[in-house]
Amino acid sequence: MSPIVGSTVPTASLFLAMLSVVAEIAVVTGVALWLGGKVWPTFARAGVSARVALTPSALWLAWIVALVCVLGSLYLSEVAHFIPCTLCWYQRIAMYPLVVLLLVAAIKRSREIARATLPLIAIGAAISTYHYLLERFPSMAGAATCDPAAPCTIVWIWRFHYLSIPAMALSGFALIALLVLLVPSKLPEQE
């Protein structure tokens, strides 16, 4: 790694980590408004306002989140030279098609195409969760050994005392899911 590229890695990883925190805040807020709305009218009203404001752009936002996740993962492997492990590849398999599918969904304004991404998102999120747990508790792997080439237990990035790469991926999957679920059955007419 050249010194110039090497010096960008801490900045890029901090940038991605901060975006993940924003994604997590958005997801927690969204879920809180949804659940709270079932009990408190104020939450319900706030939830409706947020949905009305976000709906027209939700698919484009979801596409941008997926694109940032893909570009971030490519930066980490191709520029920072963090070698992706098997579980990283499985998460990529789930994330990369979302860029194409959500772009088509956003252009065609299709709720059906957008909803079709949910199984991919769920699989990706499940793998991210398992990968994160494996990082935190390496003995879960059973063999208690590190693969010399690309072990899944290696923690390349550790930010804010809880964020690693799979945790960032999980934040991305969760925000994309939230945005896709925001899309109503009938999208407003485009001008």
Shortest CB 109 distance to another protein, Å: 14
Shortest CB 181 distance to another protein, Å: 18
Amino acid in position 67: L
C-alpha span between 104 and 120 (Å, rounded): 16
Out of 70, 151, 181, 187, the residue judged to bind another protein by CB under 8 A? 151
Q: 100 — alpha (psi -120 to 50), left (phi > 0) or beta?
A: alpha
Q: Which helix H or strand E contains 96, and what residues bound it?
A: helix 86-108
Q: Which helix H or strand E contains 60, and what residues bound it?
A: helix 58-74
Shortest CB 157 distance to another protein, Å: 9
3-class secondary structure, 98? helix
Q: Hey, which residues between 2 and 21 contact another protein (CB under 8 A)? A: 2-3, 6-7, 9-12, 14-15, 18-19
C-alpha span between 91 and 110 (Å, rounded): 25
- Binding to another protein by CB under 8 A, coded x per residue (else -) over 153-172, reads xxxx-x--------------
> Residue 61 or residue 167: which is nearer to another protein going by CB?
61
| Length of the chain measured in residues | 191
Shortest CB 1 distance to another protein, Å: 6
Using CB under 8 A, list all residues that contact another protein: 1-3, 6-7, 9-12, 14-15, 18-19, 22, 53-54, 56-57, 61, 80-82, 138-139, 143-148, 151, 153-156, 158, 188, 191
